[in-house]
Amino acid sequence: MGMFLRSAAAMALAGFAGQAQPEIPYRRGSVGRPDGAMIAYYVREGSGPSLVLIPGSWGDHRVFDRFTAALAPSLRVIVVELRGHGASRPATLDPSMELFAGDVLAVIDALRLRRFYVGGHSIGGMLAIEIAGRRPREVAGAIPMEGWTHHRVQAEAFGGSPAKLTAEEEARNNANRARLQGTLTKEEIAAFGSVWRRWDGLRILEETPVPFLSIWGDRGRPRPSRVQLRIPDRPNLRLVWMEGASHSLLVQCPEKVAAAVNGFIGEIEARRMFDEPELTIRDDGADFSRLPRLPAEAVTVYRGEDGSTGFNMHPYLAWFGGRFWAIWSSNRVRDLQAGQYVRYSTSLDGIHWTPSAMLTPSEEKENFRYFARGLWVRDGELIALAARDEAVRPLFGPGLELRGYRWIEAQRRWSGPFTVAVDTINNFAPEHLPSGEWMMSRRDHRMRSSLLAGGVDSPSTWRVIEVPAPETPTVLDEPTWWTTASGRLCLAFRDGGKSRRLYRAFSDDGGKTWTQPVRTDFPDAMAKFNVLRLRNGLYVMASNPNPTGVRIPLCLSLSADGVVFTRMAVLRDAPTMYRYGGKSPGYAGYHYPQLLEHGGFLYVIHAENMEDIVLLRVPVAAIEAIAEPGQRW
């Protein structure tokens, strides 16, 4: 069925403490089962993850109305009614938890939910545990609300007697029960009332990798232990108490329960950045040979020369004035030493490059160094960005400054430098915010990360936007930001604390404020990465996803929404070998990619072994071909 319904509570359910029952814009549907039963479900659409809800005994979809109204609007909520409840018919004289779980999974499969949260109240919470045990790879999180793991929990944990409800709450519960039981025979009521006594979910909780949020009312008494609740003390099994509430959580405090659920799902979603089914990530590595390979034509932009330009790193690429432009950092042997400077080259076709030339001076005697920092196309002019500081260790010197160099086409040269921002080294050139301002990430000389916004009236006019400290003490490095498909801004970091995972924060107000950065599940070799939204709407990320820390392979990951990357392909994975000495083992591999789309190709500039600057050219059509089947962008 495709018609839209508005949930209207019966008179007995209308109002609570003077509040009107909310109307939820449900779309109703049903799924047929092999035995002829029809299982009804109700969908409140949302742009975010799916939450499947299962009512408790003698409850239909309406018992979740106040709870659903308080959930995050982005959640897609699907309420499945059990047999004999609501519109799911007929009831059965031979019920079982396995049968009910199969009914719910039939709805999940009919809706083609590849990943979902599942929650429920009372017997619905028990079924949430059962479904998490059956589909651990698909269940993102389970939320049993007063979902007992065994029928003896009621007596052992709570003394067998529920906390008293108010007269209004009691009347509502009784009216709801009478309304639903009024359509059943005594035999059907008796059969359903005993089904949960034949089920035990303890083993599932002892073994499941699924995150759980188990919500309980404390009855206004001392709270029972996990042993009494039969909930193992495991890191993925979280226990939350509703103070003073009884078994009837959805009647007494649905908004508080919804707040706990919003926080639980929000935390998991904030960490979820990687969902490539072909790749299992472990701390000791991953089998990248399982990934598809993209056809990539490799061109050497610049080949380092031993003793003079043996180190080349931090490459950037732009299209301006009918040609490609590339800049990068260069030095005699290795990075961070005094005398490091910036070189540049151009190309009409991306394949044939002009002999490179110095863009900045080399100030070795003065003990200064330069870092290439991007190519900024602003108001019809090209500005090369370079950071300059004293050659000190650890990074950076107190005189750190971001400088700009304008290209003067009539004179075929770069203008003298001007100060873009003091005490600043950026990661990539500024990008436009939805407001029309520019924004770029920033680190100061003490390696503290923030953002700079402005750059409209002048390329040197900026204001600092602070980013909250991460959830755990670490050094967040080389931040990169982009706008997601929903308009939300995303800011991601490599982790200097060696977690081998990316960190991420979000902004819902155009970059003015940011959530606390949290560690995601996206693997990283502690290397710089770059994200670009293609003209077709697909997001691509070039990165080194090897959690061992080796910057091989160089991969391209794909995302439809700019939040979760669901496909990954190999760009380069051949072992590399130094040509010149004087380098540490960390120089091996493919480093610091930056992306550019032009003329039906994706260009990936990067450094190989920190000796050569290499450009890959990948057909956009080949990238589209490996996107998730049915994926829209």
**In the chain, which segments carry CATH 2.120.10.10?**
288-625
Q: For residue 232, with 0-12 CB atoms within 10 Å meaning exposed, 13-18 middle and 19 or more buried, which class applies?
A: middle
Residue 466: how many other CB atoms lie within 10 Å: 11
The per-residue pLDDT for 284 is: 83
Strands, sheet with 612-619, edge to edge from the N-terminal-most edge strand: 297-303, 612-619, 601-608, 590-598
> In this structure, are residues 176 and 12 in contact, taking their beta carbons and an 8 Å threshold?
yes
The per-residue pLDDT for 155 is: 85
**In the chain, which segments carry CATH 3.40.50.1820?**
4-269
Specify whether domain 4-269 bears CATH 3.40.50.1820: yes
The per-residue pLDDT for 498 is: 83
Token pair, residue 443, equals 């680190």
Burial track 425-464 (b if 16+ CB lie within 10 A, e otherwise): bbbbbbeebeeebbbbbbbbbeeebebbbbbeeebeebee
User: Into which CATH architecture does domain 288-625 fall?
Assistant: 6 Propeller (2.120)
The per-residue pLDDT for 169 is: 75
The per-residue pLDDT for 438 is: 98
> In this structure, are residues 114 and 70 in contact, taking their beta carbons and an 8 Å threshold?
no
The per-residue pLDDT for 162 is: 56
Question: Can you say how many angstroms the Cα of residue 279 is from the centroid of all Cα atoms in its chain?
Answer: 17
- What is the C-alpha to C-alpha distance for residues 131 and 82, in angstroms, rounded to an integer? 14
Q: Which amino acid is at 100?
A: F
The per-residue pLDDT for 174 is: 77
Q: Which amino acid is at 558?
A: L
Q: Which amino acid is at 627?
A: A
Q: Which residue ranges of the chain lie beneath pLDDT 50?
A: 1-18
The per-residue pLDDT for 14 is: 30
Comparing CA positions, the residue from 328, 422, 317 lying closest to residue 376 is 317
Which whole-number Å values give the CA distances from 412 to 190, 346, 408, 415, in the listed order? 89, 12, 6, 10
Which whole-number Å values give the CA distances from 228 to 148, 202, 481, in the listed order? 11, 12, 47
Burial track 81-97 (b if 16+ CB lie within 10 A, e otherwise): bbbbbbebbebbeebeb
Global confidence as pTM: 0.82
Which residue is listed with tokens 């975010």? 48
